[in-house]
A and B are shown apart, each in its own frame.
Chain A
Amino acid sequence: NAGVMQNPRHLVRRRGQEARLRCSPMKGHSHVYWYRQLPEEGLKFMVYLQKENIIDESGMPKERFSAEFPKEGPSILRIQQVVRGDSAAYFCASSPKRGGASRETQYFGPGTRLLVL
């Protein structure tokens, strides 16, 4: 059973370009979380999605950032008009059920390291 897959593992963008980060959850998992990790810091929650629905986007910046989890295909985190401050590691985690109620923990992917020049 393959784990959570993320691609690309590394992404370099110039200021003003768009970044698209993909996450394929573990087989059978329909809940996806995105987190951002700045250097020397812990992970910060961004958004929680179920298939075709955004459940909680309280950690997502209001502008330039968007996320989706379509019925078919991976979850996508999209950052438009990137700035240097967007440079970070972006991790996605998946869970088979809503973690808080079911004791199902979140399994993390290897992350995408975004560098904005």
Chain B
Amino acid sequence: GQQLNQSPQSMFIQEGEDVSMNCTSSSIFNTWLWYKQDPGEGPVLLIALYKAGELTSNGRLTAQFGITRKDSFLNISASIPSDVGIYFCAGQLEVVTGKLIFGQGTTLQVKP
């Protein structure tokens, strides 16, 4: 089945630093989504990308849909303690069902 490779697996950074994570796939996706999951909660949508090459920002977050449609990255600028959590990329492959394929997640820890 389709797989998304997300990296890095974990990051431990100082408050104020910038963060970058990415996802790659062997399949072409129609949509890329980035979610954040806090402990004990469900994923919360951060950014949605619908077109190859699209660059979208949401506050300190910026994400891009790769030109090849097989990859995406998420950047977080000037990290703060509340950025702590697990970040997941998700690709939407099938137009008919819209089911999502998730990456393995990047665990972010921020040291004040």
Contacts and interface: CB of A to CB of B under 8 A. Distances in A.
A80 B99 CA distance: 24
B66 interface: no
Interface in B1-57: 4, 6, 30-31, 33, 35, 40-45, 48, 50
Interface residues of A, number: 30
Given A105-B45, A110-B42, A111-B41, A100 B102 contact: no
Interface of B: 4, 6, 30-31, 33, 35, 40-45, 48, 50, 88, 90, 92, 94-105
Interface of A: 4, 6, 31, 33, 35, 41-45, 48, 55-56, 59, 91, 93, 95, 98-101, 103, 105-111, 113
Given A45-B100, A56-B96, 10 more contacts: A31-B98, A33-B100, A55-B96, A98-B98, A100-B30, A101-B96, A107-B45, A109-B42, A110-B42, A111-B42
A-B CB proximity, top 8 nearest: A99-B98, A42-B102, A100-B98, A108-B42, A100-B95, A56-B97, A45-B99, A43-B102
